[in-house]
Amino acid sequence: MPAGLCTALLLAVVPAACTPRADPEGTPRRVAREIERTLTTVAQNEVTRDPELATRLGLPEPDAGYAYNRFLTDRSQAAYERARLSRLETRDLLVRITRPARGSALARHLDTLIAAHETAETLFMAGHGASALGASYPYVTDHTRGAYLDVPDLLARFHPLRTPANARAYADRMAQFADAIEDDRRRLESDARAGTVPPAPILRRMYALAAAGAAAPPETSPAVVSFENLLPGIADLTPAERQQLLTDVRRIAAENVRPAYAAFAASLSALANTAPELPGVWQLPDGPAYYAAALKAYTGDDASAAGLHERGKLEVDALLAETHRALVTLGLEDGSVGERLAFLAAQPEQIYPDTEEGHAALIGRILAHADRAEAALSGQFDIPLTEKAGLRAVPPEFASFLPPAAYIPRALGNNRPARVEINAQRLADWPDFSLAVLAFHELVPGHHLESSAAREAGLPLARQMVWNVAYGEGWASYAETLADELGLYSEDPVSRIGYLQSLLLRAAALVADTGIHNERWSRDQAIAYLAETTGLSLERSADEVDRYTVRPGYAAAYWIGRERILDLRERAIRVLGPKFDPKEFHRVILMGGPRPLGMVEEDVTRWYTAQVQN
């Protein structure tokens, strides 16, 4: 059971006379109990609203209070409106609750959730798309998410299949699958009638995915294949029930799900005929206001889109100059920086073959870089890594819509280890010189270390359901720079080119994101800018641009978050001088868990102020 939830339940049954009047951080025990009960309620409300999230988190069903694995998340317009009203009520409850001791962990939990609910409301107000705590999308569904993609992914890769109850729950979810696609279709068409429709290039990508789902034989669909493969391993199922469940799942896929895909594809085709070709949300009703809210939600920065655009261009210019110098030392002097990066990536020694052996070699190389990093971090961290994260390629059937790489934390029920998934659909996107920075970003000292620290901190469940992008991606991007400062690229100077290319992409993404949504760039203009600036392939650049299109503001958070953490470290060094301890600095940042960077700054300031006064 997650530590926060366990604590809340225990406190509810401990007699008040047996407890001290205040917790160790100074909050009266009565207030602490009230806050912990409220945090538990918030978490249970979110689990009830979004059972698919609970499955992806790997939450034990007893902790959720109901058999959530039997249900898909309600995607109807009515559910969308109910979620907004419920979160407004929750925000009001969190604001009114008696305040805990200032600077305490309880205060951090409370303030993080208040900020998440307030931010969600600024984006809910647009009245379209989808918004959750920590994430927002202008469109109901797109080429990276939606029932038509998420449900097969959920069933095939996250739904547990170990007990008869799991198998029955799987069949229950399959029975709801077609309705989930239909809910997305109805909401997408309703938003389109109100003036909010995905750009035509996105709709065409969606159509290709949906049409493939409609055309594929049901028995070859990932949801059916996964069920068929894992069903024989479930003990205590009678042969008759096992066969009946398999028959039901196959029938639902053929009679319900396949027609729903076909109807969805037809709708997408019709919408694409009249949708705009330009990708920016500036053309939506109140689009500029939505983009400003999204930028602030993801970056935590009050700067205008135009200001961030100009800032990004300055950062790109500085990085191009640094990358040029690094390339010259390798004897690469001719052509633009982007052309030379593309030339380097195309060299035979940089490309892994698209074979089983090639995939294994690529994964082994990434893990070897992570091991080197872990061995070099003793002077920077005192946070233990209790486990090594696994690494695997994304299953081919999901590669067309999943990101290039993703970190998936250990399941809350401890039945699924942490792992990184690499999208190996185009192995040319992973030249050898790019793998070190990838390891440091996704594994150590990046996302895996950050996730391990959050687990050690014992965050309550409500906190584990909210991820702050500027904090998380800012930390992982900072980890890339920390690795450079520790000399982890020095053994192979070409790998430092990969680090500089990664920084270029972060800064160029800030330019492209604001270019698309504020400067009214075309899709082709944004793709050309990324390819020419970073040396990435046109295909990879197009994938990046299309992701920026459907998640405005998200890409800007990488650079802004990294810069904020670097600024905080510089400030602490100036204040503390020789008393500065990087272990303590990193612990302050990481042990507080994902939270707005303004709160991180408060924690760091409180820490170094106390150091000065001691």
User: What residue type is 280 in one-letter code?
Assistant: G
d(CA 555, CA 279): 15
Residue 527 included in any domain: yes
What number is the average pLDDT over the span 505-518?
98
d(CA 522, CA 141): 21
What number is the average pLDDT over the span 386-393?
94
Residue 122 included in any domain: no
pLDDT at 115 over 50: yes
Other residues' Cβ atoms within 10 Å of the Cβ of residue 65: 12
Is residue 447 a contact partner of residue 359, using CB atoms and an 8 Å limit?
Answer: no
Residue 192 included in any domain: no
What number is the average pLDDT over the span 338-357?
97
In this predicted model, what pLDDT tens digit does every residue of 574-606 receive, in sequence order?
A: 999 999 999 999 999 999 999 999 999 999 999
d(CA 290, CA 384): 41
Residue 267 included in any domain: no
In this predicted model, what pLDDT tens digit does every residue of 148-200 receive, in sequence order?
A: 999 999 999 999 999 999 999 999 999 999 999 999 999 999 999 999 999 99
Is residue 64 a contact partner of residue 47, using CB atoms and an 8 Å limit?
Answer: yes
Is residue 546 a contact partner of residue 205, using CB atoms and an 8 Å limit?
Answer: yes
Residue 578 included in any domain: no
In this predicted model, what pLDDT tens digit does every residue of 13-57 receive, in sequence order?
A: 223 333 345 567 789 999 999 999 999 999 999 999 999 999 999
Q: Determine the pLDDT at residue 22.
A: 58
Structure tokens at 494: 């070409």
465: containing domain? 289-354+426-562
Residue 169 included in any domain: no
Q: Determine the pLDDT at residue 26.
A: 86
Q: What is the pTM of this model?
A: 0.94
User: What residue type is 543 in one-letter code?
Assistant: D
pLDDT at 554 over 80: yes
| 395 burial level (CB within 10 Å; 0-12, 13-18, 19+) | middle
d(CA 369, CA 489): 10
- Beta partners for 406? 421
Is residue 525 a contact partner of residue 515, using CB atoms and an 8 Å limit?
Answer: yes
Q: Report how many domains make up the chain.
A: 1
Specify the 3-state DSSP secondary structure of 288. helix
In this predicted model, what pLDDT tens digit does every residue of 512-546 receive, in sequence order?
A: 999 999 999 999 999 999 999 999 999 999 999 99
- Residue indicated by tokens 């085709």: 269
The total number of residues shown for the chain amounts to 614
d(CA 319, CA 337): 10
Residue 225 included in any domain: no
Supply angle C-alpha 465, 160, 447, rounded to 5. Answer: 40
Residue 576 included in any domain: no
